[in-house]
Structure 1
Amino acid sequence: MDKTNQQVQISPVEDLMREHGLLHRILLIYKDIIDRMTVSDIYTPEPIYSCIRESTIIVKRFIIEYHQVLEQDYVFPILSQHEKYKQLIQILLTQHEAAKCATDEILTILGSELKRIKIYQKRLLQLMSEFIQMYEPHSAREDTVIFPAFHQLTPPDTFRALGEKFEDIEEQKFGENGFQNVLEHVTQIEKSLAIYDLNQFTLKCR
């Protein structure tokens, strides 16, 4: 990690929550694609399938194999020591496994030839929809219950050290500016689908 360019160290909670933000942008990509494929017949399969594939690879590498591992290795063990959080932690762990299972199945379908993907398109849309339905409440519960409790229950020195550790692990896995590079990839997918411009989502209030 290049600490000379980092004026303020990112806390472990901020790190995890911005990763949730990146994931939610992928969920918006999934939602847009589901709408295109179910509401409108005007879409070209190849580029749409490519967007799903690229987005899901990011989910696998950045969320499943990195973000969830941070939670399981450093966050959940602290909360599991307290009876109040044990049941919730178990549910979250079960959902982590479900996310991995769904992600692997999506990539398996997309690894087939185009003709076969079309055959399994209904299943593909179901997996994406169910992933959204699970991960929206999952991440919301972590942001509002798990992460605040993790902050409260972790000694200040340990909390600060974990912030640096998370950044170091991120750099080891994704290189310098790893998060920004992954975010830029998500941005490019958004632009290819014409959903990057935030203003297009502004409510038209009379």
Structure 2
Amino acid sequence: MDRGNRQRRTFLRSAGSLGAGLLVGGCAGPSASIASPHVQGRKDAQGEPEVSPAEDLMREHGVLSRVLLVYDESARRLESTEDMPMDVLTSAAGLLRRFIEDYHEKLEEEHLFPRFMQAGKLVELVSVLRSQHEEGRRLTDEVRRLATSKEVDRGRLVTVLRQFVRMYRPHEAREDTVLFPAFRSIVSKDEYEALGEAFEDREHALFGEHGFEDAVADVARMEQALGIHDLAMFTPR
């Protein structure tokens, strides 16, 4: 059995059990209130400091960044003669849809963007970010369609993957360095803390007690399947 097939079988075995857990968590539906399992109230049982709403969103950007790495490697393989396990790519697009687009971005659209618009602050940036969310969902739809086609259009799929990565790297960087730091200045301390609770409630409702951790484990298995899991391999030699 060649290396590509071994990696693919390993991914399918591990992703199957995780996927079932995520589907069960997702059945709670989007009508539940909003946050994240890593915020145990405002302090955990040991009295550790709380995770702020901005930090919560930035940690979720870490998941997005790792999916972008999976997209990069997928595009590279599609351009070459190497084997590309399409189930890994469809799983990456699925994680993007449920954890980033249908959860993380919805928090931004429902709770951050309107407050910036009302305050008249960073209005142009917010408008661009919102339009990029819409374009990102369109691109994700196309990735999922192309990756599951009987006859994969490798050239078009590479183009769409590259477009997504090119847009989202500066997108998340601008949010992390401009939007999120400015958010604290347009809400009160009490409102800021209440949003942290709301974010936690939403994440628990959608994904269960360990939504963030499960998403990290999910993308780690994709990296393993593509042979890009060893951080040291990215160090220049």
Secondary structure of residue in 1 paired with 2:229: coil
One-letter amino acid matched to 2:182:
A
* Paired positions, count: 196
**Aligned-residue offset at 1:82:** 3.3
**Aligned-residue offset at 1:109:** 1.9
Return the structure number with greater relative CO, CA threshold 8 A, min gap 6: 2
- Counterpart-to-counterpart distance in 2, 1:201 and 1:123: 27
Secondary structure of residue in 2 paired with 1:81: helix
In 2, are the aligned partners of 1:9 and 1:164 still within 8 Å (CA)? Answer: no
Given candidates 26, 32, 52, the residue that maps to 2:73 is 32
In 2, are the aligned partners of 1:10 and 1:164 still within 8 Å (CA)? Answer: no
In 1, are the aligned partners of 2:101 and 2:137 still within 8 Å (CA)? Answer: yes
Is 1:18 the counterpart of 2:63? The answer is no
Tell me which protein shows more helix as a share of its residues: 1
- Counterpart-to-counterpart distance in 1, 2:148 and 2:75: 19
Cα deviation 1:3-48 (Å, max 9, x = unaligned)? 556733211101100111110000011111111222x3122x4x2x
Aligned partner of 1:42 in structure 2 is 82
- Counterpart-to-counterpart distance in 2, 1:191 and 1:149: 37
Given candidates 202, 210, 223, the residue that maps to 1:190 is 223
In 1, are the aligned partners of 2:78 and 2:154 still within 8 Å (CA)? Answer: no
Aligned partner of 1:81 in structure 2 is 118
Aligned partner of 1:141 in structure 2 is 174
Matches within 5 A, 1:1-206: 3=41, 7-38=48-79, 40-43=80-83, 45=84, 47=85, 49-113=86-150, 116-117=151-152, 120-204=153-237
TM-score, length-scaled by structure 1: 0.90
- Counterpart-to-counterpart distance in 1, 2:221 and 2:115: 37
- Counterpart-to-counterpart distance in 1, 2:45 and 2:154: 45
Moved over 6 A (4+): none
Q: 1:54 to 1:143 in 2, by over 3 A?
A: same
Q: Which residues of structure 2 form unaligned runs of 5+?
A: 1-36
Q: Which residues of structure 1 form unaligned runs of 5+?
A: none
- Counterpart-to-counterpart distance in 2, 1:189 and 1:131: 18
**How high is the sequence identity, in percent, across the aligned residues?**
40
In 1, are the aligned partners of 2:119 and 2:186 still within 8 Å (CA)? Answer: no
